Structure 1
Amino acid sequence: MLKQLFLAAAAALSLAGCTPEPASKWQLVWEDDFDGAAVDTASWSKIPRKHPEWARKMSDNPLCYDLRDGNLILRAIETPEGTDTVEYITGGLYTKGKRAFHGGRIEVRARLHGAKGAWPAIWLLPFEEEKYPWPTGGEIDIMEHLNYDTIAYQTVHSYYTNNLGRKQDPPQGSTAPILPEDYNVYGVEMYPDSVVFFINGRRTFMYPRIADGPEEQFPFDRPYYLLVDMQLGGRWVGAIDPQDVPVEMEVDWVRYYRERE
């Protein structure tokens, strides 16, 4: 009977685009399910406004943040009159200076809501960012979503891909379908010789270390911090439609696993 139940569960996962992991492979070492009364400030900080295009609307305004029904809510809203110098403000959290991830598997279950100009993202930057300024330390984009797309982008960036322009040797990224307006699980596994991406448990893309390749081709075997943010507008995503704002990103949980020894 147990065997029949297992086979039925495996079949259901396969139909949903997921394949069951061996139970012994991963050990959960940290998670945040956002079930508390407030965000855990021992792990998270609000992302400050900075010069890069993605961060020019970041705000600590509490209207951009909420905890609702066990979800972290990150909003992009029209700026309340007289409260800021930009037309729109957005919310985002990161673990910079607080929690590092080196190797292992990160998964984030989130629901995205389409809007023209919306650009939510889940991604990683070097924990020692001052030592490895962008793009020398690498960037791992676990998920980026644009407008009303039914796909997500998963990409790596480095000195090799950005400054040297080696974007196809090997390919630096890919896209994969998501369930629009529903929850999806976005994941990445980080190894000394590869970065492997997943959506809803299905492997979608792998970026390998080239054997005997230049050092800058694979800077990804180092500690990173995690960013989860609701971005709005920019050259890549395009113009913002005021009729689509406010828009939310709902984050159900974040989990970090290490391989069992």
Structure 2
Amino acid sequence: MRKVFVLMWSALFLGGLISCVSSGDSSRWELVWEDDFNGTSFDTATWSKIPRANPEWARHMSDNEACYEMRDGNLVLKGIVNTDLENDTAPYITGGVYTKNKRGFHGGRLEVKAKLQGAQGAWPAIWLKPCDEAQWKWPWAGEIDVMERLNHDSIAYQTIHTAYTIERKQTRNPRHGSKGTINPDDYNVYAVEMYPDSLVFFINENRTFTYPRIDTGEGDELQFPFKKPYYLLIDMQLDGGWVGPVDTLDLPVEMVVDWVRYYKEKE
């Protein structure tokens, strides 16, 4: 798997096809993989349920089947009130999937089409973490947040995190994130294009911002560690210092995923 992505990255870079400015024009891209969730269950060769863990975003993750549904060609991830407190003391539980140890993404364009139901305390996310994260302490490995939405907002946030933005607190030189308008009652398409010299973000084909590689004098791992494969996480999160507390009267809440598509540039 790693060899495949290295070869693809090299072909893009050496062919001189990469530009830090992208139009989001679909005619530039060739579809190389997709999941349209048309089955009766999600593809376990690609996806696994995200386990519960200590970070704030993962502390309510659950493998409970009540948090997952395949419906009308969609993967539905839910945040619900926990009704089985004897076996799980979490007040509410959430569903999430990731491609960790199964599929990585290295260069190219990644898109996710999803509809996000609003709720107080709802924090759905689409994001990328490095396949080799065990070798690096966060945030040195880098994190790419393709979409985060809070509560009932009509905007979504797109952000990158690195040692440069977290430890050096350099969030404006260059700007490390932006936000864009979404239709809160319908599907929206969230995308990132990954190049050797930049990450370019989109919402519904509207470019929101570009994060370029710059010379800090301290090496790329500090400011731009994104030249390696990353795995994808899609999760319905609840509660946290940023999103605020949950109103259980707003639950259940759903994150409905229509498809995921991955492209490389046409030769």
TM-score by length of 1: 0.90
Q: Take 1:230 and 1:109, find their aligned partners in 2: how far apart are those partners?
A: 14
Q: CA deviation at 1:214?
A: 3.0
Find the partner of 1:256 among 248, 262, 266: 262
Map of 1:88 onto structure 2: 92
Residues 123-163 of structure 1, C-alpha deviations (whole Å, 9 max, x = no match): 00001111123111100000000001110000000111011
What CA distance in whole angstroms lies between the structure 2 residues aligned with 1:131 and 1:26?
A: 32
Per mean C-alpha deviation after superposition, the further-off stretch among 158-167 and 246-255 is 158-167
Q: 1:39 aligns with which of 35, 42, 57?
A: 42
Instruction: Find the aligned partners of 1:20 and 1:213 in 2 and give their Cα distance.
Output: 31
Work out which of the residue numbers 188, 201, 220 in structure 1 matches 2:226: 220
Unaligned runs of 5+ in 2: 1-22
Q: Partner of 2:134: helix, strand, or coil?
A: coil
2:77 corresponds to 1:74: yes
In 2, Cα distance between the equivalents of 1:95 and 1:89? 20
**Paired residues, what number?**
242
Counterpart selection for 1:239 from 235, 242, 245: 245
TM-score by length of 2: 0.88
**How far, CA to CA, are the matches of 1:156 and 1:22 in structure 2?**
24
Secondary structure class of the residue paired with 1:205? strand
User: Is 1:158 aligned with 2:162?
Assistant: yes
Of 78-87 and 50-59, deviating more is: 78-87
Distance 2:217 2:67 in 1: 44
1:108-187 matches, within 5 Å, as 108-187=112-191
Given that 2:24 and 2:207 are in contact with CA atoms closer than 8 Å, whether structure 1 keeps it comes out as no
Deviation of 1:80 after TM superposition, in Å, equals: 1.5
* Equivalent in the alignment of 2:62: 59
Kept in 1: contact 2:216–2:223 (CA 8 A): no
Distance in 2 of aligned mates of 1:197 and 1:240: 29
Q: Shift of the alpha carbon at 1:58?
A: 0.3
Q: Percent identity?
A: 62
Going from structure 1 to structure 2, the CA distance change for 1:212 and 1:242 (only over 3 Å counts) comes to: closer
2:77–2:255: 8 Å Cα contact kept in structure 1? yes
Closer/same/farther in 2, CA of residues 164 and 97 from structure 1, 3 Å limit: same
Q: Secondary structure at the match of 2:101?
A: coil
Cα distance in 2 between the residues matched to 1:22 and 1:143: 20
Match of 1:9 in 2: none
Aligned to 1:30: 33
Displacement of 1:31 in angstroms is 0.3
Work out which of the residue numbers 212, 227, 248 in structure 2 matches 1:208: 212
- d(CA) in 2 for partners of 1:85, 1:27: 46
Report the equivalent of 2:13.
none
Q: Which runs of 5+ in 1 are unaligned?
A: 1-18
Residue type matched to 1:57 in 2?
Answer: H
